[in-house]
A and B are shown apart, each in its own frame.
Chain A
Amino acid sequence: MQLSALPLSVLLSTGGGIIADLILPAFILIILTIAIFKKIDAYSAFLKGVKEGFLLFNDVFGSMLSMMFAINLLRISGLLDFVAGFFAQFITEIHPYLWAMMLFRPFSGTASLAIMVDIFKNLGVDSFSGIMASVIQGSTDTTLYVITLYFGCIGVKKIRNSLAIGLVSDVVGILVAILLTFWFYS
């Protein structure tokens, strides 16, 4: 089954990321046109929004610092790689690189993106592992980052079971990603 025959995908692949590049300017074009049409003071509104944005710094910096410290330690001490190697011993159909990527995915978007680029370079971007890495990266967002940022910004300390549920949904996303790639590409 070749899903790449979908018209949208063909359109996208012919121009690389042209569609992706169009979305943002199109959004701003529409919003600004409506604002001018409705005689809104768009310039003052923009400045007001920018000012509010900068106030976030105080709350966001502290929570991001504490989380980046813990994640850096997990990465540098080799603990996450050790756990990845442990899984890789038992299920050898999935490359050790991919195990590391899956473990990093909920904790650090930049780390899992870096591993994905490593996979592209060393195993090939169109290889089975390269495609699986792309699907996994797109299957979920960086849960810990989202929770740290959003709760940090309003000063919530007791996050109840939001992290647990977020991680459950990550596992589901990654699992579906793996199964789909095995189903359609091998």
Chain B
Amino acid sequence: MTLFWGSMILSSIVFGFCTGKISLISNTMVSVGSETLEFVLPLIAVTCFFNGIVEIAFQSGCIAWLEARMRPFLGFLLPDIRHDSETLGYVASNIVINMFGLGSAATPVGLKAIQGMQKHNLDKTVASRSMITFLVLNTGGVTLFPTSIIALRVAHHATDATSFIPFAVIATFSASFIGLIVDRWWNHR
């Protein structure tokens, strides 16, 4: 992570220096703190709200029900936490909520899922097998209703706001599917 992060910063500064954008770069260093705060605070606020909803769903057994439906698939996907049905329940909810395009609601459940995985992790600073598989699934982002894109297309008066959806769905499924295969092949040969 340090290498990736460091090289992003160093190459940008050198490139900005060569193209004469060094004053813009120095401005960023002053403003990035408050910019991040403006980004993270609403994120945490929304997370708090959905965390509350998720807690109701958990106590009333909705998440356990979902986990039972998806158990064979999840057990195959994340074999090292196969016996932790609470964490698997959050994984199941995260996948389902993501499919409906509710990213802001999916994130709190996903965070609960990865916190559950951390309990089984031997070295707390190194990513475990299930964490990598779970994040690969999340970065592929399988979405059946890309709500924000539909809304933006409608706002720009598209004559056909939704015909792109089947193509996006095929693309996002391929992305996640290939991601999972690469993960299996690379990490568990």
Contact = CB atoms under 8 A, between A and B. Distances in A.
Binding between chains A and B: yes
Nearest to A72: B28
Interface in B152-177: 152-154, 156-172, 174-176
B35 A157 contact: no
B70 interface: no
Interface in B83-117: 97, 100-103, 105, 107-108, 110-111, 114-115
Contacts of B12: 70, 73-74, 76-77, 79
B40 A17 contact: no
B171 A177 contact: yes
A158 B123 CA distance: 10
B126 interface: yes
Q: How large is the interface on B (under 10, 10 to 19, 20 to 34, 35 or more residues)?
A: 35 or more
Interface stretch (A84-92, A94-102, A165-173): A165-173
Most buried by A among B57, B115, B146: B57
A65 B15 contact: no
B31 to A, nearest CB: 8
B172 A155 contact: no
Interface string A113-153: 10011001100011000110011111111110011011101
A126 B162 CA distance: 11
Main secondary structure of the interface of A (DSSP, over half): helix
Contact of A34 (B43, B61, B182): B61
A156 B53 contact: no
A156 B134 CA distance: 14
Contacts of B165: 9, 12, 138
A2 B167 CA distance: 12
24 contacts: A2-B163, A3-B166, A4-B163, A23-B102, A35-B60, A65-B32, A73-B28, A77-B16, A79-B11, A79-B12, A134-B168, A135-B164, A137-B146, A138-B146, A141-B140, A143-B139, A147-B135, A150-B135, A156-B124, A158-B127, A159-B1, A165-B183, A166-B136, A166-B179
Interface of A: 2-4, 6, 9, 12-13, 16-17, 19-20, 23-24, 27-28, 30-32, 34-35, 38, 40-42, 45-50, 52-54, 56-57, 60-61, 64-74, 76-79, 82, 106, 113, 116-117, 120-121, 125-126, 130-131, 134-143, 146-147, 149-151, 153-163, 165-166, 168-170, 172-174, 176-177, 180-181, 184
Interface of B: 1, 4-5, 8-9, 11-13, 15-16, 19, 21, 24-25, 28-29, 32-33, 35-37, 39-40, 43-44, 47-62, 97, 100-103, 105, 107-108, 110-111, 114-115, 118, 124-127, 131-132, 135-136, 138-141, 143, 145-154, 156-172, 174-176, 178-179, 182-183, 186-187
